[in-house]
């Protein structure tokens, strides 16, 4: 069964450093997402991406965040200057379409900012 793949599974970084989280969405999916979940809290939407551009973003997704689809398979989330409060599990997801379409989540990257 096709799945969304995320690397690395764990990332430890120092405050102020840049991190790049990587995702390979399901191959025939057209919409890509990043969500995050701080420990003990709800899953929060960060950004959606379609046709090589951001389609929606939340208030969390400020200038420190960026996304890119550098080739036909990878989808990345970059945090330019990490803060302690960026520590969370980051989930990539993809879907065939939007609106009523179902999201498939990757296994996540646990980011720890020290």
Partner 1 sequence: QKEVEQNSGPLSVPEGAIASLNCTYSDRVSQSFFWYRQYSGKSPELIMSIYSNGDKEDGRFTAQLNKASQYVSLLIRDSQPSDSATYLCAVNGPNSGYALNFGKGTSLLVTP
Radius of gyration of the chain from Cα atoms? 13
Indicate the residue among 19 and 46 with the shorter CB distance to partner 1. Answer: 46
CB of 16 to partner 1, least distance (A): 27
Can you tell me the distance from the alpha carbon of 112 to that of 67, in angstroms, rounded to the nearest whole number?
A: 19
Does 45 interact with partner 1 (rule: CB under 8 A)?
yes
Does 106 interact with partner 1 (rule: CB under 8 A)?
yes
E strands along the chain, which residues?
5-7, 10-13, 19-24, 31-37, 43-50, 53-57, 65-68, 75-79, 88-95, 104-105, 109-113
Residues binding partner 1: number (CB under 8 A): 22
Residues 9-28 that bind partner 1 (CB under 8 A): none
Residues with Cβ < 8 Å from 5, sequence gap 6 or more? 23, 24, 106, 107
Does 58 interact with partner 1 (rule: CB under 8 A)?
yes
Name the one range near partner 1 by CB under 8 A: 12-20, 35-43, 62-70, 71-79. 35-43
Interface residues toward partner 1, by CB under 8 A: 33, 35, 41-45, 48, 55-56, 58, 91, 98-100, 102-108
């Amino acid at each position: 069964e096709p799945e969304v793949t995320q690397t690395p599974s764990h990332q430890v970084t120092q405050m102020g450093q840049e991190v790049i989280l990587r995702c390979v969405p399901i191959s025939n999916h057209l919409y890509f997402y990043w969500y995050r979940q701080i420990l003990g809290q709800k899953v929060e939407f960060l950004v959606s991406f379609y046709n090589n551009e951001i389609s929606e973003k939340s208030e969390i997704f400020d200038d420190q965040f960026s996304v890119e689809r550098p080739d036909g398979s990878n989808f990345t989330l970059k945090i330019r200057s990490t803060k302690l409060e960026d520590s969370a599990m980051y989930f990539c997801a993809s879907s065939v379409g939007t609106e009523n379409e179902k999201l498939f989540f990757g296994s996540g990257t646990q980011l720890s900012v020290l």
